[in-house]
Amino acid sequence: MHSFGHRLNGLLTFSVTILAIMCAIASLSDNLNTPSPTAEIKIMNINWFQKQPQGNDEVSLTMNISADLQSLFTWNTKQLFIFVAAEYETPKNSLNQVSLWDAIIPAKEHAKFWIHTSNKYRFVDQGNNLRGKKFNLTLHWHVMPKTGKMFADKIVMAGYSFPEEYR
């Protein structure tokens, strides 16, 4: 500590090291949070359900997505990335997951919501397996932190199915 430069260097190095430790502890504190999210998705309408010229099935649907994800927010949360995916099984693939809609929730106040929307991304199958197919709709979320580990989880809602015929 014999000169101005030496003391300044010591201050900056030590303070930044301690800041890194504080951020690590802040991230660890996220594990203390026990979230209890809820979600519900209703399919309001199947807008159309066709076979494309290439041979793949495509469907357009309108959904009502409502959820309460406020308990996922902590002091260390920057934003929540959520998306809805349709999951089903085909002879070719044991699991197909198609992302239909996503959103970013920037604050706790916006985490309790409902939205009436058609699918943001096209729902196209690998093949023509969708007629009469049963599928799940899952709401996934990624809790993106201000610092540290990102947590991801989902809610699976089962019991949806496609019409037997194209329309």
Partner 1 sequence: MSYFTQNSLLSFLGYPVSLQTFLPLSAPSLHFTMDWQGQKLAEQIMQIMLLVFAVTAFVAGYVLGSFQMMVLVYAGGVTLTGLITIPNWPFFNRHPLNWLDPSEAEKHPKPQVTVSSKKKGFKR
Q: Where are the strands (E) in the chain, listed by range? A: 38-51, 57-68, 77-88, 96-105, 112-118, 123-124, 134-145, 151-161
Minimum distance from CB of 22 to partner 1 (Å)? 5
Nearer to partner 1, 19 or 43 (CB): 19
Minimal distance in Å, beta carbon 10 to partner 1?
Answer: 7
Strand partners, 114: 66
What's the closest the beta carbon of residue 32 comes to partner 1, in angstroms? 10
User: What is the spatial distance between Cα 87 and Cα 84, in angstroms, rounded to a whole number?
Assistant: 10
Q: Is the CB of 146 or the CB of 167 nearer to partner 1?
A: 146
Given the complex with partner 1, which of 7 and 134 has the nearer CB atom?
7
Q: Are the C-beta atoms of residues 137 and 159 closer than 8 Å to each other?
A: no
Nearer to partner 1, 30 or 57 (CB): 30
Half-sphere exposure of 43 (CA within 13 A, CB side): 22
Q: How far is the CB of 9 from partner 1 (least distance, A)?
A: 10
Most distant CA atoms of the chain, gap in Å: 84
Residues of this chain that bind partner 1 (CB under 8 A): 1-4, 7-8, 10-11, 14-15, 18-19, 21-22, 25-26, 29, 75-76, 146-147
- Decide whether 73 or 162 has the Cβ nearer to partner 1: 73
Integer Cα distance of 12 and 156 in angstroms = 48
- C-alpha span between 107 and 127 (Å, rounded): 40
- Least distance (Å) from partner 1 to the CB of residue 56? 46
